[in-house]
Amino acid sequence: MALRLGDTVPNFTQASTHGDIDFYQWAGDSWVVLFSHPADFTPVCTTELGTVAKLKPEFDKRNVKAIALSVDDVESHKGWVGDIEETQSTTLNYPILADADRKVADLYDMIHPNANAAVTVRSVFVIDPNKKLRLSFTYPPSTGRNFDELLRVIDSLQLTDNYSVATPADWKDGEDVVIVPSLKDPEVLKEKFPKGYEEIKPYLRMTPQPNK
């Protein structure tokens, strides 16, 4: 059954390029980006894995760990890592799960038979420290994933978890945010948003980002 937002994601133990991984233990109290690939030695995925390696400082700032998955075995992965590092001019600094038995692919509904019954689709899962699914994307094979968008969404999730706000269309870190409609008491609004806010409509109130 497909995972839905807010579900607790399933745990697993699986081989990887960094040894056997118990997912819950490995994740600890971090956020996690788990992203899958149809197979090793695929061109678009090679660029994606390199991009994520280069973004490690950005993930670290946000308490995020990255972990990839492909249906090939560890030895194949190790050969692919060499190609990734050579062609993308980076060091692969996170694990790639080996899912030859499709165990994780089945747990996370990564096999879409109408696309290809033999391989995983190119999915992304953002999982919070409570092991809850907070975001999922599924991309077609021809389109590389947008990791700037992934960072933007993680910024939004972490901000809105801690403040009574939501983020508007195309929001980027540092820009004004929306006060949630459930907050109505003027005194509470004054306390929570000392920088003030602009009421465009009773349900649309903009305020400077509270943690900036």
Phi-psi region of 104 (alpha: psi -120 to 50; beta: other; left: phi over 0): alpha
For residue 53, the 8-state DSSP code is H
Which of 143, 89, 152 is closest to 121 using CA atoms?
143
Strands, sheet with 198-201, edge to edge from the N-terminal-most edge strand: 165-166, 177-179, 204-207, 198-201
Residue with tokens 């678009």: 44
Q: What span, in angstroms and rounded, lies between the C-alpha atoms of 35 and 155? A: 18
CB neighbours of 196 closer than 8 A, spacing ≥ 6? 207, 208
Neighbouring CB atoms inside 10 A of 141's CB total 15
CB neighbours of 15 closer than 8 A, spacing ≥ 6? 21, 73, 74, 97, 98
Please pick, among 33, 34, 45, 64, the residue that the annotation labels catalytic: 45
CB burial of residue 28 (10 Å; 0-12, 13-18, 19+): exposed
Q: Is 146 a catalytic residue?
A: no
Q: Reduced to 3 states, what is the DSSP secondary structure of residue 132? A: strand
| Catalytic residue numbers, as ranges | 45
